[in-house]
A and B are shown apart, each in its own frame.
Chain A
Amino acid sequence: MSDDRDGAPEEAADDDASPDGGHASATPSTHTVRLELVDEPGQLLAALRPIADNGGNLLSIYHERGNKTPRGRIPVEVDFEATQERFEGIVEALRSEGVNVMQAGTERYAEEVTLLLFGHLIDTDLSDTLSRIEACASASVADVSLAAPQGTEEASSARLRLEARAGETEAALAAVRELAEEKELRLVEPLTGVEA
C-alpha cells in the first residue's frame, strides 16, 4: 500500500538503530490531514506541494467534491507517510501556505469500535440509519451483520463495526446514541478504553 516511487527517504537505518522497538520517532507512519480548500483551480495542487516538499510520502487523496464544509469550501482528506517530526513540519508548512488544516492526525481511522443495535431495525429503515452514521464526520461504517430471526416485523439485532479517527470514538458513539434514541432503538455500547 505504501508507494515509495516519489523518492521519500528511507528511514530503515534508523529503525535498525533501535532494535528494542522503543518509540522510534524516525519510523514513518501514516498520517491523515483534513484540509479545507476554496473551489478554485490549482488549489489542490497548492495544498499537496507542501506535503511532498517536506518529505511526506503521499498515499491517497480523497477529494470530497460533493460535500461542502460549513464555510462553503471543499473538504479534502490526504493520507501520507512521514516521520512524526516531518509530519509536524508539513502541518506547519500547510498552515503557512494559507491552507486551512481542519484536522491532522496519525492514521485515518485509528480506532475501531464494535456495537450492537437492536429493536425495529428494519421498520426504522436500516439503510437510513447506516447512512446517517456515515454522515457523521468522525466515523465510517466498516461492517454490518444483521440478525432478524423472527422476520422483518419483529425486533432484530445488528452488529456494527465503526472506524473512527483517533480520539473521536466518543463523538462517533454519541452520534449513534442520539440516532438510536430518535429511532427508539436500543444500543449496546462497547466498554471502550477498558479492554486491556
Chain B
Amino acid sequence: MRLAVIGAGAVGRSVVDLASEYGHEVVAVADSSTAVVADGTGGRDAGVDPDAVVARKAERGIVGDADPADALAADYDVLVEATPTTLGDAEPGFSHVTRALERDRHAVLANKGPVAERFGDLRAAVADSAGEIRFEATVGGAIPAVSTVEDIEPGHVTAVRGVLNGTANFILTRMAAEGLDYEHVLAEAQDLGVAEADPSFDVDGTDAALKCVILANVLSFGAADDPADAREFTLEDADVSGIRDVPGSALRLAAEDGRTVRLIGEATGETVRVAPRLVPENGTLAVSGTQNIVQIETSHAGRLNISGRGAGGPETASAVLGDVGRLE
C-alpha cells in the first residue's frame, strides 16, 4: 500500500521508518508546516526516503520543502493520521480523514480526537465512501484492543476495562513502591521522560477517557443493527476523575490490605467511566510502570486480558501498520 503519513511526531516518524518492513511504501509525509511528496522519478512505486525524512525532521525541524496540502493531495492508498489529538471539532485531523474518504481512500488513525469526539460524523463519511477507517493505534498503543473487540463482535462484548495510561500507572506504581507523594513521583517521571511538562492530559484521566470513549463507540455502533440507532459517545459523556490528589497515605492503606490503586477506565455500550480504583495488589489489572492492560468481558467467551506497551513510537506504529495490513 502507498501511505501518506500526516504528522511527524514519534508515531508518524516510526510509521515512516517501519513501513517498508511491512511491505508498504511511504509516498508523502507532512508535519504541521512542511511536507515531502514522492516525485515519481524511478517509477510510480518510488516512495520518499524514510531516512532522509527522519534526518531532516531531527536536524532542521522540517520533513521537506513541499506544502502540507501537497501531501494531502498525493496519490496514496491509505492516509495515516498521526497529528496530535485535539478535542472538540478534532481538527485538523478530522478534515484530513474526511478528505481521504471523499477521495475514496482509506484512513488509519493514531489521533484519538476524530474517533472520540466525532465518531458519528466519521461513520457517515465512511458510509459515503469506498474507503474505510481503522484506528487500532488510538487505544492502548501496541495492544490489539479494537480488533479483538471486533473479532469477538461488539454485540458479544459486555464491557471493556483496563489501565490505559502509562504515565498515570507509572506514577501510581512508584508512589506505592516508594511511599512517596504524587508531586515527588511526578517530578521523577518528568525527568525520565515518562510524563510531559504539562501532565494534565494523563494524570487528570483525559487520555484514558478518550480511549474508553472510542471503545464505547466501537461497542455501541458495532452492536447496533442500524448505525442511526447507535448511541454516540464523546468525552462529555465520560465520568472522569484523575490521580492528581491521591495521597501517598491512601496507597499505604491499600497496600496494608493487599490492594493497590490503579487508574481504571471502563467502557460499555452505555457508560464510560475513568477513576482511580482499588484492585488486588497482585491482580491482573495491577500492571506495573508504564504497562497497559485491556480486559474484555464477553458474553460467551469469558474474560480476555491483553497487556503490553500502551505508548511509544514503534509500538504505536506497529498498530498503525497492522491496520494498514487489514485494509489490503
CA distance A186 to B249 in the complex (A): 13
B249 & A190 in contact (Cβ 8 Å cutoff):
no
B226 interface residue (CB < 8 Å to A): no
Given contacts A115-B278, A147-B252, contact A188 B247 (CB under 8 A): no
The count of chain B contact residues (Cβ–Cβ below 8 Å) is 26
Our pick among A114, A115, A147, A189 for the contact of B249 (Cβ within 8 Å) is A147
A115 to B246, CA, bound (A): 13
Does A188 lie within 8 Å of B249, measured CB to CB? no
Closest A residue, CB atoms, query B275: A189
Assembly CA distance A191 to B280 (angstroms)? 9
- The answer, yes or no, to whether A145 is at the interface (CB within 8 Å) is yes
**Which residues of the other chain, A, contact B161 by a CB distance below 8 angstroms?**
191, 194
List residues of A (140-169) whose CB comes within 8 Å of B's CBs. 145, 147-149, 155-159
- Mark interface residues in B238-280 (1 if CB within 8 Å of A CB, else 0): 0001000111111011101101010010000000000111111
Interface: B319 (CB within 8 A): no
Q: Is there contact, CB below 8 Å, between B261 and A188?
A: yes
Given the complex, which residues of B lie within 8 Å of A148, measured CB to CB?
A: 249
Name 8 A/B residue pairs within 8 A (Cβ), A-sorted: A116-B254, A118-B246, A145-B253, A147-B250, A186-B241, A186-B246, A190-B278, A195-B280
Q: Among the listed B253, B275, B278, B280, which residue makes an inter-chain contact with A147, where contact means beta carbons less than 8 Å apart?
A: B253
A12 contacts chain B at the CB level, 8 A cutoff: no
| Docked complex Cα distance between A188 and B242 (Å) | 11
B285 interface hit (Cβ, 8 Å): yes
Cβ-closest chain A residue relative to B253: A159
A114 and B275 contact, Cβ closer than 8 Å, known pairs A149-B249, A188-B246, A195-B280? no
B283 adjacent to chain A (CB < 8 Å): yes
Q: Is the CB of B278 within 8 A of A157?
A: no
From A114, A118, A157, A196, B259 is in contact (CB under 8 Å) with: A114
Q: Contact residues of A with B, CB < 8 Å?
A: 114-116, 118, 145, 147-149, 155-159, 186, 188-191, 194-196
Query: Distance (Å) between the CB of A178 and the closest chain B CB?
Result: 14
Q: Measured between alpha carbons, how far is A115 from B256 in the docked complex, in Å?
A: 13
The 4 A-B pairs of least Cβ separation, nearest first, read A147-B249, A157-B250, A159-B253, A157-B249
Contact call B283/A157, Cβ cutoff below 8 A = no
- For A116, give the chain B residue with the smallest CB separation: B250
Is the Cβ of B277 less than 8 Å from the Cβ of A157? no
* Residue among A156, A186, A188 making CB contact with B277, cutoff 8 Å: A188
Query: Is B303 part of the contact surface with A, judged by Cβ < 8 Å?
Result: yes
Task: Report B-chain residues with C-beta under 8 Å of the C-beta of A186.
Answer: 241, 245-246
Q: Is B277 within 8 A of A189, CB to CB?
A: yes
How far does the Cβ of A121 sit from chain B's closest Cβ, in whole Å? 10
Contacts of A115 in B (CB 8 A): 278
Instruction: List chain A residues, Cβ under 8 A from B249.
Output: 118, 147-149, 156-157
Contact present for B261 and A159 (CB under 8 Å): no
Shortest distance between the CB of B275 and any CB in chain A (Å): 7
- Chain B residue contacts of A188, Cβ below 8 A: 246, 250, 254, 261, 275-278
CA–CA, A149 to B264, complex, Å?
Answer: 26
Name, among A118, A156, A157, A188, the residue most crowded by chain B CB atoms within 10 Å (CB to CB): A188
Q: Are B254 and A194 in contact (CB under 8 A)?
A: no
Picked from A145, A155, A191, the residue with its CB within 8 Å of the CB of B278 is A191
Decide: A195 and B279 in contact? CB cutoff 8 A: yes
In the complex, how many angstroms separate the beta carbon of B242 from the nearest chain A beta carbon? 10
Q: A157 to chain B: which residues have CB within 8 Å? A: 247, 249-250, 252-253
Cβ contacts under 8 Å, A116 to chain B:
250, 253-254, 261, 278
Collect the chain A residues with CB atoms within 8 Å of residue B276's CB: 188
Closest B residue to A195 by beta carbon equals B280
Query: Considering the chains assembled together, what is the distance between the CA atoms of A157 and B264 in angstroms?
Result: 20
